[in-house]
Amino acid sequence: MGLFKNMIAVEPRIVKFPYEEGTYWRKGAKQGPDAIIEQIGRMRGYSLRSKKKCAYKIEDLLVASTYIPVYSKIKALDVIESTIRSIIDLGAAPISLGGDHSITLPIIRALSAAYGKQRFGLIHFDAHSDTFDEVDGFEYHHGAFVRHVVNEGHVAAKDIIQLGIRGLVRGDGLEFSDSSGIRYHSVDDIAAKNFELKDFILSRDIPYYVSIDIDAIDPAYAPGTGTPVPGGFSSRDMMKMLSQLYDLNIIGLDIVEVAPIYDSANITSLLAASILYESLIGFNFKGLQKG
């Protein structure tokens, strides 16, 4: 339990990253954060699942947005990293609303700088493994953050758990996962265990960062996303899995790839907002003492 030595219970802070320059197919994730916050504004604060009231007012948790450069993708990642570092330095746990999935690499870089390398695990919900090699000579795109998290040494491959991986994929990504030892589980594997995660999350001795790509959920429930893949989790499966993370120590969370322009009746942003709200009530957020 030495890993928890300097960690204390902290409040979360929510930051919006309306950034979509990491995508190479359909744009639209830029409008995700505002759509999620708009939906959460209509929600009631008591969770039937947790049997608890939300301890916070959303507006009190929102931190001011920083301008993210669009003409330099490397600078954009640096701005995201320093924004997260400032939230950690405030003594809070960062909750980031994307934006595309390229934002997660700088978030994890900031956490790794604060906590030390390989001190926490990653629980990653996604249709895609996000371990893919460069596209057009650019390697920090939205389908590559896990590859960099491993290659830069921030999280040990054995401490990464991927849930929901499926469909037709580029072979190079899974070669990377297999050779590095990342554990990835298909929707079918998890359905066979009735969405009980105890066989998938092996170590409870480390804190976790949680990254939720909304495309982990089936396009029938979450059509508002850039790269939908049929055969995903239902929203009920997602809520069931989420609630099994409540007894872990969580150092941060992101919800990414909500693209409202493809949405129908706001069901995707409503689902993302529900995930966010239930997490605010249920998660055990941990952080570092201020200063």
Shortest distance in whole angstroms from residue 84 CB to Mn ion: 18
Shortest distance in whole angstroms from residue 231 CB to Mn ion: 16
Q: Which is nearer to Mn ion, 213 or 263 (CB)?
A: 213
DSSP assignment of 107-175, as one string?
HHHHHHHHH-TTSSEEEEE-SS------BTTB--STT-HHHHHHHTTSS-GGGEEEE---SS--HHHHH
The CA distance from 261 to 29, in Å, is 9
Binding site for Mn ion (CB under 5 A): 101, 126, 130, 213
Q: Which is nearer to Mn ion, 101 or 166 (CB)?
A: 101
Phi, psi angle pair for 147, to nearest 5°: -55, -45
Shortest distance in whole angstroms from residue 272 CB to Mn ion: 14
Shortest distance in whole angstroms from residue 222 CB to Mn ion: 13
Q: Which is nearer to Mn ion, 13 or 128 (CB)?
A: 128
The CA distance from 138 to 189, in Å, is 33
Shortest distance in whole angstroms from residue 160 CB to Mn ion: 13
Strands 208-213 vs 183-185: parallel, antiparallel or unpaired: unpaired
Q: Which is nearer to Mn ion, 211 or 235 (CB)?
A: 211
User: Is residue 103 within 8 Å of 211, Cβ to Cβ?
Assistant: no
Q: Which is nearer to Mn ion, 159 or 213 (CB)?
A: 213
* Contacts of range 155-160, beta carbons closer than 8 Å, 24 or more positions apart: 155/108, 155/112, 155/118, 155/120, 155/121, 155/122, 155/209, 156/118, 156/121, 157/181, 157/182, 158/183, 159/118, 159/120, 159/121, 159/122, 159/203, 159/206, 160/121, 160/122, 160/124
Shortest distance in whole angstroms from residue 209 CB to Mn ion: 14
Q: Write the CB contacts of 18 (distance below 8 Å, at least 6 apart in sequence).
A: 30, 31, 32, 33, 34, 65, 68, 99
Shortest distance in whole angstroms from residue 289 CB to Mn ion: 32
Question: In which residue are the tokens 């059509």 written?
Answer: 223
Q: Which is nearer to Mn ion, 215 or 288 (CB)?
A: 215
Q: Which is nearer to Mn ion, 102 or 249 (CB)?
A: 102
Q: Which is nearer to Mn ion, 126 or 218 (CB)?
A: 126
